[in-house]
Amino acid sequence: MANTGPHSAHSQFYVTLRALPSFDCKSVAFGRLIDGSRVLEFIGALDTKMDRPLGKVSVCGCGKLAAVELGDHDQQLAAARMQAVQRSRLARKEADERAAAAAKVQAISKGRNTRKAMKEKK
């Protein structure tokens, strides 16, 4: 799903049939096809212009997958992925904090060296 920006009620859902490098690091992919692969293949065979079907494609009826229907393996896999994402975010935040601290130390050192050089010139 993609939206048009913060505080907007517009959203779009994408069903992709191949890798989309333009989505890398910009979008979150989720979901999987449970049933209806023939319908998806039919939609994928439609004529397109700029990666969009020329005809109108609408989802007229769909079901909702209840959490009870997921197997234990799927739930454990989803939990492991969420934990990995959280660890990655934490590691990124810590790396950013270390880089900011290093930049601050370098700026202080540079200022100190500049003041020292100015004193020596006098």
Cα–Cα dist 33/6, whole Å: 28
pLDDT score, position 87? 85
Same domain, 1 and 57: yes
Over residues 56-85, the mean pLDDT reads: 67
Q: For all residues of the chain together, what is the average pLDDT?
A: 77
Band (88; pLDDT cuts 50, 70, 90): confident
Q: Which of 86-90, 91-95, 108-112 comes out lowest in average pLDDT?
A: 86-90
The answer to whether residue 28 scores a pLDDT higher than 90 is no
Domain containing 121: what range? 67-122
CA distances from 58 to 2, 30, 43, 99 (A): 17, 20, 10, 48
Same domain, 51 and 10: yes
The tally of domains found in the chain comes to 2
**Are 96 and 55 contained in the same domain?**
no
pLDDT at 29 over 90: no
